[in-house]
């Protein structure tokens, strides 16, 4: 049984209980982060901590823990649960006042903090990376502050189910004719030596993996264009891929039934995955 962390305590997962009045449960009034673990170490923890603080501050939510202590809790859970490859999930909500109300509860209300590990042996050597993913496009029906990493994930869940129903792996969301991002990842296309991905704004989550991959791409002399692209442009690209903390770099081989190139993962995505894994293992903590 997993050991999880709840409000200062390490507990068996079946003993960790949250109030029915918790704002995360009633209103999706909470933020989260997912940090991957390779070789028993945390990948890009500092990036996730910075984004967490920004998400909290955009929602006028206070953190119940310092970022230094948060790192220690991550490490302790990885140790207690003997995670070599997997993820640590972290969620902070505005806490549990003693009733339901749209207005935020008094500032002294204690936030709720939960962390748990997910054991995923073989995460880095995923067979999906060799096969590539098939995606469909769907309208982006999410709210307008996608830069805040909230637990309001119903539409992304619906998108994954739409993809499954179509025999595909994920959905790319489209707004005003252009791709925003995948349901739980950032989206890219490749043309020649150029990597194209949507520019940062409130329309997408500012992926921690995205920042690292673009940095590595530039270091490897690839060209990076941060701009919007359409599904039609993507279908004519040489390659496509996604990034996220839990999938790293994952090739996309088909979009709305159109195969990219010869329908197999391309060399740029494969190379970026390799560089990302290699470089991020070096700075893991």
Q: In this complex, which beta carbon is closest to ligand PMP, that of residue 113 or of residue 213? A: 213
Binding ligand PMP (rule: CB under 6 A), the pick from 86, 159, 207, 265 is 207
3-state class (DSSP) for residue 16: coil
Strand residues in the chain grouped as ranges (E)? 3-6, 9-12, 30-38, 41-42, 86-93, 112-119, 133-139, 170-175, 178-182, 186-191, 194-197, 223-226, 239-244, 248-255, 258-259
* Per-residue mark of binding to ligand PMP, 245-284 (x: CB under 6 A): x---------------------------------------
Do 201 and 140 meet the contact criterion of CB atoms below 8 Å apart? no
Q: In this complex, which beta carbon is closest to ligand PMP, that of residue 74 or of residue 210? A: 210
* Per-residue mark of binding to ligand PMP, 31-60 (x: CB under 6 A): ---x--------------------------
Do 25 and 94 meet the contact criterion of CB atoms below 8 Å apart? no
Q: If 0-12 CB within 10 Å is exposed, 13-18 middle and 19+ buried, where does residue 268 land?
A: buried
- In the complex, least distance from residue 181 CB atom to ligand PMP, rounded to whole angstroms: 5
Q: Is the C-alpha dihedral spanning 181, 154, 71, 22 positive or negative?
A: positive
Residue 185 interacts with ligand PMP (CB under 6 A)? yes
Segment interacting with ligand PMP (CB under 6 A) among 3-11, 131-139, 239-247, 263-271: 239-247
Residues labelled catalytic: 149
Residues that bind ligand PMP (CB under 6 A): 34, 181, 184-186, 205, 207-210, 243-245
């Amino acid at each position: 049984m997993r050991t999880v962390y709840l409000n200062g305590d390490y507990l068996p997962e079946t003993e960790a209980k949250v109030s029915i009045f918790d704002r995360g449960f009633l209103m999706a009034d909470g933020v989260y982060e997912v940090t991957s673990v390779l070789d028993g170490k945390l990948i890009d923890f500092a990036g996730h901590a910075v984004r967490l603080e920004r998400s909290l501050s955009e929602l006028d939510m206070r953190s119940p823990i310092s970022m230094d202590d948060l790192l220690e809790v991550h490490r302790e859970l990885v140790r207690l649960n003997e995670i070599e490859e997997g993820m640590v999930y972290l969620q902070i909500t505005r806490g549990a006042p003693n009733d339901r109300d749209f207005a935020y509860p008094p500032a002294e209300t204690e936030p709720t903090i939960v962390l748990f590990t997910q054991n995923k042996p073989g995460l880095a050597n995923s067979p999906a990376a060799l096969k590539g993913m098939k995606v469909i496009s769907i309208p982006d029906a999410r709210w307008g502050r996608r830069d805040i990493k909230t637990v309001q994930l119903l539409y992304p869940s619906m998108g994954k189910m739409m993809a499954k129903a179509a025999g595909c792996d994920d959905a790319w969301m489209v707004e005003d004719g252009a791709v925003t991002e995948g349901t739980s990842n950032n989206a890219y296309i490749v043309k020649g030596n150029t990597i194209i991905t949507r520019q940062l704004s409130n329309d997408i989550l500012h992926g921690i993996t995205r920042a690292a991959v673009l940095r590595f791409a530039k270091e490897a002399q690839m060209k990076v264009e941060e701009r919007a692209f359409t599904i039609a442009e993507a279908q004519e690209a040489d390659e496509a891929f996604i990034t996220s903390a839990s999938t790293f770099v994952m090739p996309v081989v088909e979009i709305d039934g159109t195969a990219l190139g010869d329908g197999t993962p391309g060399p740029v995505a494969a190379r970026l995955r390799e560089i990302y894994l290699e470089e991020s293992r070096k700075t893991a903590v």
